[in-house]
Amino acid sequence: MRPQSEAELAGIIAGATGPFHVRGGGTRAIGRPVAGEVLETGGLSGITLYEPGALTLVVQAGTPLAEVEAALAAEGQRLAFEPMDFRGLLGTSGAPTIGGVVAANVSGPRRVQAGACRDFCLGVRFVDGTGQVIRNGGRVMKNVTGYDLVKLVAGSWGTLGVLTEVSLKVLPVPEAAACLMIDGLSDAAAVGVMAQALGSPFEITGAAHASSGVDGHPVTMLRIEGFAGSVDYRAGRLQEMFADHPVRVERDPDRIRAGWAWVRDVERMHDAAGDVWRISCKPSDAPALTARLEAGTLLYDWGGGLVWALMPEGTDARARLGAFDGHATLVRGSEASRAALPVFQPEPAALATLSAGLRARFDPRGLLNPGLMG
């Protein structure tokens, strides 16, 4: 099914008798496999409103992300939360949609400084599991009028409603960028370096460490962005800060872009066999946690707060991690792994009750991506 309007979508859901597998571009195929008729959002496409001077964009949910990014680029603006492209990691094809980005709350390396996708969502329209159209938030930068369902829906993977329109805050593309690289650090030393940089006044917009970089050796990357003079100044100050290490500085914008896309899209693990786990944790806990994991390959983003781990198929990473401040998601796993292990971290009982309660209210018949989040 591919409704062409919000009203048509609402009608389809209201009159439905069986479950749906809600799909934007179909590129972010994570979660438990969903049995249901495919319900595509691609028919709901187009930019509704774009005011560069107010940094606001209102766009229909099925609009291809590429179209959104092109429109912003034409005005020298961008989605500051730097959404990851899942295609390479998951081996999916198709065109990611903006609704899919929001439904999965997809954020990239800049999350550590600028905020997550959910922080840039100003408003949503969605159709809930009863076929009711619901609006929340709006298109202004500050809004505390009633409950923030925008944040609830962002990251709910289509299980509470099908997004039809989102309003986003966008930001200007800075004039210049630089990437500082330190080679050969241990994971623990790298997390220390990243903490020091992130705790400086120099506004780091990316802090990542690959235990094996493009050339197979460890590399730690720090990004700064802004006006050219300011980037020069901060790059200098950071080099002084890490004078004990040989620091390479990359200033070529294309190479910087490619390097951070490599981190953002977890390229290191694209063609490697095995399951891929995504671990969100307290940054300084990361080295000890990963030591317990015994993973093949590791990529640390967000200063260590986000860890990507490549594990032998079927390994229960959570069993190895034990209890910790954070959660682990099985982002890429064979059908067998995903059937055997919960994809999303099981919640403590009280939270699971609240989540189930919300699902029962927004989708009482269990029609929308049933079982996807567990």
Partner 1 sequence: MQMPDPNPDVIARKARIVARLQKVLASDAVIHDPAETRAYECDALTAYRCPPLAAVLPSSTQEVSEVLKICHQEGVPVVPRGAGTSLAGGALPTADCVILGVARMTEVLETDYANRFIRVQTGRTNLSVTGAVEEEDFFYAPDPSSQLACAIAGNIAMNSGGAHCLKYGVTTNNLMGVTMVLMDGTVVELGGAHLDAGGYDLLGLVCGSEGQLGVVTEATLRILRKPEGARPVLMAFDSNEVAGACVSDIIKAGVLPVAIEFMDRPCIEACEAFAKAGYPMCEALLIVEVEGSEDEIAEQLGLILQIARRHNPLELREAQDADEAGRIWLGRKSAFGAMGQINDYICLDGTIPVSELPYVLRRIAEMAEGYGLQVANVFHAGDGNMHPLILFDANGGELEKAEALGADILRLCVEVGGCLTGEHGVGIEKRDLMSDQYGAADLEAQMAVKDVFDPDWLLNPAKVFPLDASERRRSLALAAE
Residues 251-280 that bind partner 1 (CB under 8 A): 280
Task: With CA atoms as reference, report the closest residue to 108 among 124, 120, 125, 123.
Answer: 120
CB of 199 to partner 1, least distance (A): 5
- Helix 228-241 × helix 187-198 angle, to 10°: 130
CB of 76 to partner 1, least distance (A): 7
Number of helices (H) and strands (E) in the chain: give both, helices first.
14, 17
Residues 134-193 that bind partner 1 (CB under 8 A): 134-136, 138-152, 154-156, 160, 171-175, 192
Residues 58-77 that bind partner 1 (CB under 8 A): 76
Residues 291-350 that bind partner 1 (CB under 8 A): 302, 305-306, 325-329, 344-345, 347-348, 350
What tokens were used for 97?
């949609």
What tokens were used for 33?
């496999």
Query: Is 242 an interacting residue with respect to partner 1 (CB under 8 A)?
Result: no
Residues 6-45 that bind partner 1 (CB under 8 A): none
Q: Pick from 3, 109, 283, 333: which binds partner 1 (CB under 8 A)?
A: 283
Give the start-end residues of each E strand in the chain.
20-23, 37-40, 47-51, 56-60, 77-78, 121-128, 133-137, 161-169, 171-172, 176-183, 204-210, 219-226, 247-250, 275-281, 297-301, 306-311, 326-332
CB of 93 to partner 1, least distance (A): 26
Q: Pick from 54, 73, 258, 340: which binds partner 1 (CB under 8 A)?
A: 54
CB neighbourhood size of 13 (10 A): 26
Residues 211-240 that bind partner 1 (CB under 8 A): 226-227, 229-230, 233
CB of 260 to partner 1, least distance (A): 17
Number of residues forming the site for partner 1 (CB under 8 A): 82
Beta bridge partners of 87: none
- The single-letter DSSP state of residue 96 is -
Contact 307, 300 (CB under 8 A): yes
Residues 105-134 that bind partner 1 (CB under 8 A): 105, 107, 111-112, 115-116, 118-119, 128, 132-134
CB of 123 to partner 1, least distance (A): 9
